[in-house]
Amino acid sequence: MVEQSPKRLFDSISVVLVRPEYSGNIGAAARAMKNMGFCDLVLVNPYKFNKDEAIVMASGADDIIENARFFSDLKEALDHYGMVVGTSRRIGKKRKHFYPIDEVIEKVVEFSNKNRVAIVFGPEKTGLTNRDLDLCHLVTSIPTSKEFGSLNLAQAVLLFLYELFRSSEAKKPLVFNRKLATSFELEGMFSHIEQILKEIGFLEPDNPDRMMSVIRFILGRASLNSREVRIIRGICRQINWYINKNKEGKDVL
């Protein structure tokens, strides 16, 4: 069985910082990335980004700052990723199911063989919102003291990437060779499902996101590929055809 080299693993993984508030933290996160062998940084709507300040804190990881990719919208930033991992400290009934970090690390190592993977971190003060987490296929939290659990952004990046680095150094056997559907394909599917479920009255009109979050979680665990997404969307189209025929008063059976 072929083993996966750290270089190949790291080249397929991006660090995504969502609405970071301080350019210094972006630079410190870039330094943490380089410490652990990662190079692809994605910035989503950073607040008053100052490249010079970021480079000072990057302290040798200038190239990561220079090559960082910028987006104004998280959904757009994640379009081409087959696996999206969200990180958050806040746990609540309205938030997605959290997976243990060791389980997530193992999945990232396995999936990154054939898929681009995004590790998503939220802004310093608030973290990722529920809407942000809806775009993530897996959500995890870095274990910390209950007395003071808040981590600096760069610290969180370093700890997560260290666990990935350590896991890759263990040279685990490669067991996952399937290419997943991209986030763009999955979001199209979820929009299609939501449209159909609204049409048949399954979703609460005033709060459709409540049930859609559950559906996202169920299908997110399935690790769907492009063909499977097309099949589900084909089912949605057939249901839509049936609904329209029924509205026209025609016998469709």
Q: Are residues 30 and 151 in the same domain?
A: yes
Question: Measured between alpha carbons, how far apart are the two ends of the chain, in Å?
Answer: 51
Q: Quick one: pLDDT at residue 154?
A: 94
Q: Quick one: pLDDT at residue 10?
A: 79
Q: Are residues 16 and 74 in the same domain?
A: yes
pTM for this prediction? 0.77
For residue 29, give the nearest of 74, 87, 104, 95 by alpha carbon. Answer: 87
Q: Are residues 26 and 126 in the same domain?
A: yes
Q: Each residue of 112-127: pLDDT tens digit?
A: 888 899 999 999 888 8
Q: Are residues 16 and 140 in the same domain?
A: yes
Nearest-angstrom CA–CA distance, 29 and 17? 9
Please name the residue that has the structure tokens 């040279």: 171
Q: Quick one: pLDDT at residue 6?
A: 43
Q: Are residues 123 and 69 in the same domain?
A: yes
Q: Are residues 189 and 156 in the same domain?
A: no
Structural domain for 111, as ranges: 6-169
Please name the residue that has the structure tokens 């609460």: 204
Domain end among 114, 147, 169: 169
Q: Quick one: pLDDT at residue 92?
A: 61
Q: Assess if residue 43 is contained within a domain.
A: yes
In contact, 83 and 137? CB cutoff 8 Å: yes
In contact, 118 and 86? CB cutoff 8 Å: no
Q: Are residues 194 and 138 in the same domain?
A: no
Q: Which 3-state string (H, E, C) describes the chain?
A: CCECCHHHHHHCEEEEEECCCCHHHHHHHHHHHHHHCCCEEEEECCCCCCHHHHHHHHCCCHHHHHCCEEECCHHHHCCCCCEEEEECCCCCCCCCCEECHHHHHHHHHHHCCCCCEEEEECCCCCCCCHHHHHCCCEEECCCCCCCCCCCCHHHHHHHHHHHHHHHHHCCCECCCCCCCCCHHHHHHHHHHHHHHHHHCCCCCCCCHHHHHHHHHHHHHCCCCCHHHHHHHHHHHHHHHHHHHHHHCCCCCC
Q: Which residues contact 244 (CB under 8 A, 6 or more apart)?
A: none
Q: Assess if residue 176 is contained within a domain.
A: no
Q: Are residues 200 and 243 in the same domain?
A: yes
Q: Are residues 26 and 113 in the same domain?
A: yes
In contact, 109 and 168? CB cutoff 8 Å: yes
Q: Assess if residue 49 is contained within a domain.
A: yes
Number of structural domains in the chain: 2
**Average pLDDT by stretches of 10, the chain with 253 residues:** 49 94 95 94 95 93 95 94 89 69 89 90 90 91 82 93 85 62 90 89 82 85 88 90 74 51
Q: Each residue of 213-251: pLDDT tens digit?
A: 888 888 887 888 899 999 999 998 898 888 887 776 655
